[in-house]
């Protein structure tokens, strides 16, 4: 795609227009990290180019307009030529193809504005730029640097290198997503077989000059498959938003299980009229996402919650990282009682023990009415046994445990 320069690439300096003699012109510098814009501005204002580079980097924190300005300057500002006094016309003027490519890139840039809702804290206060545009630009810069590193950037030109690199990134990203999807839908054997096939091709190719380019697709298959293998994420249990608000214990599914593959799982048990003697053993299983269980403040809850990768926020207790677990009130026999067996592979498991807290509030324990210590104390207090209730509940509890055990065994067998 060498479409450079159907028009003359350089133009002579007009009399009196040299850098030394005439008025100063803003030119992209040959001393460059990316497109020579910072170097050119540094030359123009006689300041160190690194100061300008730092200013551009800082501009990202203020909505990212500096990055847009950088791209615009890279496209529209002429460039220093190879010889002293020569000036190359702006990139946008060099060929129609480059102009079209720049237009497409600009359109993608604007489109990416609305396509991605990418608001990682604390950058959501940084302005519109911390959405798709930042993601797109980081990808573009990364693609350019990668392609330039392979030595192809010189042939393609910087814009071509960016577009080529983006195409490669998108292709690998799609392969990554497909491998993840296949693994999570029970087709991991196929992906693993493909992986072995690529390995065999690499070995054979090693004796015939090598095929290092196959390493990238191998990693693109191996990493998501490993992720699925490590976390047991399954799309088979469903994807999306699930909200369950049973009004009675009987409305809870017979197998006493709520599960979801990926998404947001809400189980709100606060509408149930819990009676003394009630004991429910409940399983809440989530592959990836967030699971939230809400219980009345005075309900005794015995927890056995685990997270392979992520966080557990249970009634004021926090645990985060790999293979985390939360167990409280084990051995309690107070009633009514919920024996909660929660599991999330990747994401967050949340237990809220408050009658009024909003289950969708990400920080319910920040409220003055429900501090973390209050929540923890309430959970422990609710499980202080009332001796009068001790005997009445035994039969019901055994039955519930037996049913939950049977259901779990059935699932494991399946």
Partner 1 sequence: MRRSVDVESLAAGIAVIAVGTIMLLDQSGSIELTATLVGALNAAMIGVILLAGGLGRDRDTGADEEEDRPER
Interface positions with partner 1 (CB under 8 A):
183, 188-189, 191-193, 195-196, 198-207, 209-212, 214-215, 218-219, 222-223, 225-227, 229-231, 308-309, 322-323
Smallest distance from partner 1 to CB 212, Å: 6
Q: Specify whether the CB–CB gap between 299 and 324 falls below 8 A.
A: no
Q: How far is the CB of 259 from partner 1 (least distance, A)?
A: 19
Of 48 and 232, which CB lies nearer to partner 1 in the complex structure?
232
Instruction: Considering the complex, state which of residue 57 and residue 201 has its C-beta at the smaller distance from partner 1.
Output: 201
Contacts of 392 (CB under 8 A, 6+ apart): 276, 277, 335
Q: What is the DSSP letter of 34?
A: S
* CA separation for the pair 400, 322 (Å, rounded): 31
- Contact between residue 260 and residue 319 where contact means Cβ atoms under 8 Å apart: no
In angstroms, what is the minimal distance from the CB of 206 to partner 1?
Answer: 4
Nearer of residues 24 and 411 to partner 1, judged by Cβ: 411
Pick the closer one to partner 1 by CB: 141 or 192.
192
Smallest distance from the beta carbon of 380 to partner 1, in angstroms?
A: 31
373 beta partners: none
Least distance in angstroms from the C-beta of 105 to partner 1: 32
The nearer residue to partner 1, 40 or 224, going by C-beta atoms, is: 224
**279-295 and 337-353 as β-strands: parallel, antiparallel, unpaired?**
parallel
SS (H, E, C) 349-364: EEEEECCCCCCCCCCH
- Residues whose CB falls within 8 Å of the CB of residue 165, separated by 6 or more in sequence, listed in order: 140, 142, 143, 144, 146, 147
Residues 6+ apart with CB under 8 A from 60: 66, 67, 126, 129, 134
Both tokens assigned to 296: 């009345």
Considering the complex, state which of residue 215 and residue 247 has its C-beta at the smaller distance from partner 1: 215
Residue 309 near residue 322 (C-beta atoms within 8 A): yes
Bridge partners (DSSP) of residue 86 are none
Judge if the upstream peptide bond of residue 336 is cis by omega within 30 degrees of 0. yes
CB of 186 to partner 1, least distance (A): 9
Give 111 or 200: the residue with its C-beta nearer to partner 1: 200
Q: How far is the CB of 148 from partner 1 (least distance, A)?
A: 19
């Amino acid at each position: 795609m060498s479409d450079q320069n159907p028009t003359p690439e350089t133009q002579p300096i007009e009399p009196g227009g040299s850098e030394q003699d005439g008025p100063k012109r803003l030119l992209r510098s040959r001393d460059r990290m990316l497109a020579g814009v910072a170097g050119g501005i540094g030359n123009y204002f006689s300041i160190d180019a690194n100061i300008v580079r730092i200013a551009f980097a800082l501009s990202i924190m203020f909505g990212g307009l500096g990055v847009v300005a950088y791209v615009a300057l890279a496209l529209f500002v002429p460039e220093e030529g190879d010889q002293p006094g020569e000036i190359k016309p702006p990139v946008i003027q060099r060929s129609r193809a480059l102009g079209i490519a720049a237009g497409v890139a600009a359109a993608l840039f604007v489109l990416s504005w609305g396509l991605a809702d990418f608001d990682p804290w604390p950058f959501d206060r940084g302005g519109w730029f911390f959405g798709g545009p930042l993601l797109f630009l980081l990808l573009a810069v990364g693609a350019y640097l990668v392609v330039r590193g392979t030595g192809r950037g010189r042939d393609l030109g910087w814009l071509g290198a960016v577009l080529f690199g983006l195409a490669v990134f998108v292709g690998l990203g799609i392969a990554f997503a497909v491998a993840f999807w296949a693994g999570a839908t029970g087709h991991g054997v196929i992906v693993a077989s493909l992986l072995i096939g690529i390995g065999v091709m690499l070995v054979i190719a090693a004796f015939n000059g090598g095929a290092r380019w196959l390493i990238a697709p191998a990693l693109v298959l191996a990493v998501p498959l490993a992720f699925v293998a490590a976390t047991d994420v399954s799309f088979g249990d469903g994807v999306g938003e699930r909200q369950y608000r049973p009004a009675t214990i009987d409305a809870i599914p017979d197998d006493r299980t709520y599960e979801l593959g990926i998404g947001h799982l809400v189980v709100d048990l606060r509408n149930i009229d819990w009676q003394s003697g009630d004991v429910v053993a409940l399983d809440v299983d989530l592959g990836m996402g967030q699971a939230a269980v809400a219980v009345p403040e005075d309900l005794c809850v015995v927890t056995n919650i685990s997270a392979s990768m992520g966080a557990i926020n249970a009634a004021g207790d926090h645990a985060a990282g790999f293979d985390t677990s939360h167990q409280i009130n084990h051995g309690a026999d107070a009633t009514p009682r919920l024996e909660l067996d929660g599991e999330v592979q990747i994401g967050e498991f949340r237990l809220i023990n408050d009658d009024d807290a909003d289950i969708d509030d990400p920080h319910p324990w920040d409220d003055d009415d429900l501090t973390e210590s209050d929540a923890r104390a309430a959970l422990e207090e609710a499980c202080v046994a009332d001796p009068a209730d001790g005997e009445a509940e035994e039969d019901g509890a055994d039955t519930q445990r037996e049913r939950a055990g049977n259901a779990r065994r059935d699932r494991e067998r399946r």
